[in-house]
Amino acid sequence: MKVAVVKYNAGNICSVDYALKRLGVEAVITADKEELQSADKVIFPGVGEAETTMNHLKATGLDELIKDLRQPVLGICLGMQLMCRYSEEGGVDCLNIFDVDVKRFVPQKHEDKVPHMGWNTIGQTNSKLFEGFTEEEFVYFVHSFYVPTCDFTAATTDYIHPFSAALHKDNFYATQFHPEKSGKTGEKILTNFLNLCR
């Protein structure tokens, strides 16, 4: 199985690569069109700022390439947000794979800290990414922007208010949290993704 990780100006590519290596998978980290199109699975990671990253994707043609992929694709954190329609971070139009906007967290009371950082539970899971889950599991988040619950929501988390912890549409899967930093639960999610059929 060929697994490709999209290479662009994202901050967590190495940690995704290490997590895959722990699962016995040697991924190719690439921005090459043919390599991405021929991969069995594609991971679209991301730590960074939405507007800057979208400008880079557009300048390199990766924006159209990612939208046209037909194999299972997993967006992570900023990767998930960039797969949405629009982000309030920089006021930028994104890939519009998921027809929903990314919002900024607004604290409602003194103890609400932004970014939402650390371990939190995911619930209401309804995607093959979460096959074998029998209860709420803890995963690791770091984000100041969120995707509201919507028709594509595949898991939810509550911080300040409920939001989408994961999304799914056709061959596109995405997590707001970092499976590569989420211990055994994250490994299970990555394994489920790797086991998906085309």
Give me the catalytic one of 94, 137, 143, 180: 180
Residue 142 region, left (φ>0) first, then alpha (ψ -120 to 50), else beta? beta
For the question of residue 116 being annotated catalytic, the response is: no
135 is a catalytic site residue: no
- The amino acid at residue 69 is L
Q: Which of 116, 143, 168, 178 is catalytic?
A: 178
**How far is Cα 142 from Cα 125, in angstroms, rounded to an integer?**
20
Is 14 labeled as catalytic in the residue annotation? no
Listed in order, strand segments (DSSP E) in the chain are 3-6, 28-30, 41-44, 73-76, 84-87, 92-93, 98-104, 116-122, 137-143, 145-146, 153-159, 161-169, 172-175
Cβ–Cβ under 8 Å, residues 152 and 98: yes
Catalytic residue among 14, 51, 77, 116: 77
Catalytic positions: 77, 178, 180
